[in-house]
């Protein structure tokens, strides 16, 4: 797209996203270590209120851990000078709930805004890049609409397009299936998997929807690292199947609440 967006290239086998003995919540007394490489998907699952968003923000460099290191692209982000972190931040996408859209800007303006804000190209070029991406996501007829004129799936697609237009190497998706019906959840499963494959993304996705996460993991032909956030304990599984086979009481309770035995 443009040289500024693609400055950082991953040339080693090092993880793109890495947590090294981090403590991020008073709920959990154990340290968390995990790693996610290019083309990999990791899931963070658990009931509401367990700290999924706090953990996602910590891993993405938006919220400092009380101890330990959050490493992105081989850099401890909380030790970087502000200007250096700003450069790295361009390559880390974070998808928040739809309310993060600017209400008085059109869909096209919302998506082109990151390119303009970071001064990566002229506004006219930013609009071209944004329009192409939105067309790829099926929103070509919504470019001049305001966020309030969109339905929930369209708003989520627009929210997703904002970091994608920056060509990130890592993507965090919070509340990945919230407020979707079954058909829409399935379409977003297909979309997330396509993005990982086509862009070789390092992706971490958080959701309380165990059934949809199970379908997402089943659709992959490789292991899907899964972190379950229990009442007072963290459970890191190398694959989603291990979570489904666990007989720990906290895991069993969560599965029973989703009518999964």
pLDDT of residue 9: 40
Other CB atoms within 10 A of residue 236 CB: 16
What string of DSSP letters covers 136-176? HTT-GGGTT--GGGS-HHHHHHHHHHHHHTT--SEEEESST
Domain annotation for the chain: domains and CATH numbers:
14-91+169-261 (3.40.50.300), 99-167 (no CATH)
Which sign, positive or negative, has the C-alpha torsion 200, 139, 218, 54?
positive
User: How would you write the pLDDT of the chain (261 residues) with one tens digit per residue?
Assistant: 333 333 334 444 789 999 999 999 999 999 999 999 999 999 999 999 999 999 999 999 999 999 999 999 888 988 888 888 888 888 999 998 767 899 999 999 999 999 998 888 899 999 999 999 999 999 999 999 999 999 999 999 999 999 999 999 999 999 999 889 999 999 999 999 999 999 999 999 999 999 999 999 999 989 999 999 999 999 999 999 999 999 999 999 999 987 765
- State how far the Cα of 164 lies from the Cα of 215, in Å rounded to an integer: 24
Is 243 in a helix, a strand, or coil?
helix
Q: Does the predicted TM-score (pTM) go above 0.85?
A: yes
pLDDT of residue 4: 31
**Nearest CA among 36, 96, 22, 45 for reference residue 72:** 36
- State how far the Cα of 154 lies from the Cα of 141, in Å rounded to an integer: 11
Evaluate whether 184 touches 176 at the Cβ level (below 8 Å).
Answer: no
pLDDT of residue 5: 37
pLDDT of residue 102: 94
pLDDT of residue 6: 34
pLDDT of residue 261: 54
E-assigned strand segments in the chain: 17-23, 32-36, 41-45, 67-72, 75-76, 92-95, 170-173, 202-207, 225-229, 234-237
């Amino acid at each position: 797209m443009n040289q500024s967006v693609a400055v950082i290239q991953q040339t080693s086998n090092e993880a793109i996203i890495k947590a090294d003995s981090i403590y991020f919540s008073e709920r959990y007394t154990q340290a968390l270590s995990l790693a996610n490489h290019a083309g990999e998907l990791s899931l963070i699952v658990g009931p509401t209120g367990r700290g999924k968003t706090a953990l996602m923000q910590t891993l993405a460099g938006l919220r400092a851990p009380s101890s330990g290191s959050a490493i992105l692209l081989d850099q401890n982000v909380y030790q970087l000078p502000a200007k250096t972190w700003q450069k790295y931040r361009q390559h880390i996408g974070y998808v928040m709930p739809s309310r993060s859209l600017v209400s008085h800007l059109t869909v096209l303006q919302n998506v082109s805004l990151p390119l303009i804000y970071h001064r990566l190209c002229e506004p006219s070029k930013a609009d071209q890049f944004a329009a192409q991406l939105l067309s790829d996501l099926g929103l070509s007829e919504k470019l001049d609409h305001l966020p309030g004129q969109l339905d929930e799936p369209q708003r989520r697609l627009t929210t997703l397009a904002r970091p994608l237009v920056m060509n990130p190497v890592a993507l965090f998706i919070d509340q990945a299936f919230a407020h979707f019906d079954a058909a829409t959840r399935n379409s977003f499963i297909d979309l997330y998997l396509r993005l990982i494959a086509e862009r070789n993304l390092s992706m971490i996705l958080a959701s309380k929807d165990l059934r949809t996460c199970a379908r997402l993991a089943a659709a992959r032909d490789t292991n899907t690292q899964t972190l379950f956030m229990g009442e007072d304990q963290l459970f890191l599984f190398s694959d989603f199947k291990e979570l489904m086979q666990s007989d720990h009481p906290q895991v069993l309770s969560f599965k029973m609440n989703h009518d999964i035995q």
